[in-house]
Structure 1
Amino acid sequence: MENKDAIHLSQTLRTFTGTVNWYRHQLFRQFTYTDGIQFLATEAQCYWLIDRIFALQYEQPAVKIEPFQVWELTVNPDQTAMLTCGNGNDDTVYSEHISYTDFKLPKIRLFLTDSVLLLPTEY
Structure 2
Amino acid sequence: MVHGVEHTTNGNGNTAAFPRTPEAHHRAGSRTTHTTTKENNSMDAQDIINGLARYTGTESYFSLGAMFRNAVYTDGVQFLIENAQCAWLVTDAMAWVSQKVPGQNYDDGFMTVELHPKEDRTADLLITDGNGTTLYSQHYTAHTFPLPKGIKLYAVWGETSRGPCWILMVTSEY
Contact 2:115 2:126 in 1 (8 A): yes
- Pairwise CA distance, 1:57: 2.9
Could you state the TM-score of these two structures normalised by the residue count of structure 1? 0.88
- Any stretches of 5+ residues in structure 1 without a counterpart? none
- Pairwise CA distance, 1:16: 0.5
Contact 1:22 1:32 in 2 (8 A): yes
Higher relative contact order (CA 8 A, sep 6+): 1
Greater CA deviation, 36-45 or 51-60? 51-60
CA distance in 2, matches of 1:50, 1:58: 11
Contact 2:62 2:73 in 1 (8 A): yes
**Stretches (4+) displaced over 2 A:** 57-61
- Percent identity of the aligned residues? 36
**Root-mean-square deviation (CA), in Å?**
1.9
Number of matched pairs: 118
Secondary structure of 1:77's partner? Answer: coil
CA distance in 2, matches of 1:59, 1:32: 13
- Pairwise CA distance, 1:29: 2.2
CA distance in 1, matches of 2:64, 2:100: 19
CA distance in 2, matches of 1:32, 1:21: 10
Counterpart in the other structure of 2:154: 111
CA distance in 2, matches of 1:121, 1:82: 22
Counterpart in the other structure of 1:23: 62
CA distance in 1, matches of 2:47, 2:114: 20
Could you state the TM-score of these two structures normalised by the residue count of structure 2? 0.63
CA distance in 1, matches of 2:97, 2:131: 19
> Would you tell me which structure has more helix in proportion to its own residues?
1
| Compared CA separation, residues 58 and 18, structure 1 to 2 (3 A) | closer
CA distance in 2, matches of 1:60, 1:18: 24
- Does residue 70 of structure 1 match 2:70? no
Q: One-letter code of the match for 1:24?
A: S
* Matches for 1:40-59 after TM superposition, within 5 Å: 40-57=80-97
CA distance in 2, matches of 1:98, 1:92: 17
